[in-house]
């Protein structure tokens, strides 16, 4: 079973400067945060803002090829979460047949926004998010109790622990800050390269 969702926001994780797309479930106020790459964030942002680029980007090209060949995207579904990685599928109709195609969620969302296809989140993803949230809450409580105990002073030059990204931090991020960061990026800034 899957629940209908829509793109609620595209924000920057303020702790790690990583883009996050937020899907809001239609039936309630739950959010599904999906951390994505900068190029994918740019593609999603262009679709959200309805920006027409002079030359087609990859997602635009794919949509044009599908339209030219009579392929229709009927739905996108974020269907799994494994070890912190989300998985998705595109369902397309072609020649009277339905095909399900494996996809990264960011690409599927970028295509859904361009084709106005509905976006869904599978119940198993929501269950896994709830389990992870409960585990994080337990870890945060343990960390708070540990923090209450006095610690020895850190040596000069010791690395500070990096904060873990939270949904609250993402929701507080400024959209203009994300846009500025995307504009200033160079290819060398990407952690993961294809």
* Residue 37 three-state SS: coil
To the nearest whole number, what is the mean pLDDT of the chain? Answer: 78
- Which of 34-43, 98-107, 129-138, 150-159 shows the lowest per-residue confidence on average (mean pLDDT)? 150-159
Kindly report the pTM of this predicted structure. Answer: 0.70
Work out the pLDDT band at 52, boundaries 50, 70, 90: confident
**pLDDT tops 70 at residue 66:** yes
Task: Specify if 184 maps to a domain.
Answer: yes
Task: Specify if 179 maps to a domain.
Answer: yes
Task: Specify if 163 maps to a domain.
Answer: no
Number of domains, the chain = 1
Task: Specify if 130 maps to a domain.
Answer: yes
**pLDDT tops 60 at residue 91:** yes
- What's the pLDDT tens digit per position in 139-188? 555 555 555 554 444 444 434 333 333 444 444 445 565 555 555 554 44
Burial class (CB in 10 A: 0-12, 13-18, 19+), 101: exposed
Task: Specify if 47 maps to a domain.
Answer: yes
- Domain span at 134: 2-142+175-189
Give the CATH number for residue 49: 3.10.690.10
Task: Specify if 161 maps to a domain.
Answer: no
> Among 167, 166, 38, 57, which Cα is nearest to 113's?
57
């Amino acid at each position: 079973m899957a629940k209908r969702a829509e793109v609620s926001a595209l924000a920057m994780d303020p702790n790690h400067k990583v883009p996050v797309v937020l899907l809001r479930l239609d039936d309630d106020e739950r959010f599904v945060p999906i951390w994505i790459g900068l190029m994918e964030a740019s593609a999603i942002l262009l679709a959200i803002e309805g920006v027409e680029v002079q030359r087609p980007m990859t997602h635009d090209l794919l949509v044009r090829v599908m339209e030219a060949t009579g392929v229709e995207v009927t739905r996108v579904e974020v269907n799994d979460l494994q070890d912190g990685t989300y998985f998705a599928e595109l369902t397309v109709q072609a020649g009277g047949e339905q095909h399900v195609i494996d996809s990264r969620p960011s690409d599927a969302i970028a295509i859904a926004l361009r084709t106005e296809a509905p976006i869904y989140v599978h119940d198993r993803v929501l269950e896994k998010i709830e389990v992870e949230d409960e585990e994080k809450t337990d870890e945060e409580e343990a960390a708070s109790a540990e923090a209450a105990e006095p610690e020895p002073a850190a040596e000069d030059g010791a690395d500070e622990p990096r904060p873990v990204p939270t949904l609250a931090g993402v929701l507080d991020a400024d959209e203009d800050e994300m846009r500025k960061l995307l504009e200033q990026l160079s290819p060398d800034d990407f952690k993961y390269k294809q």
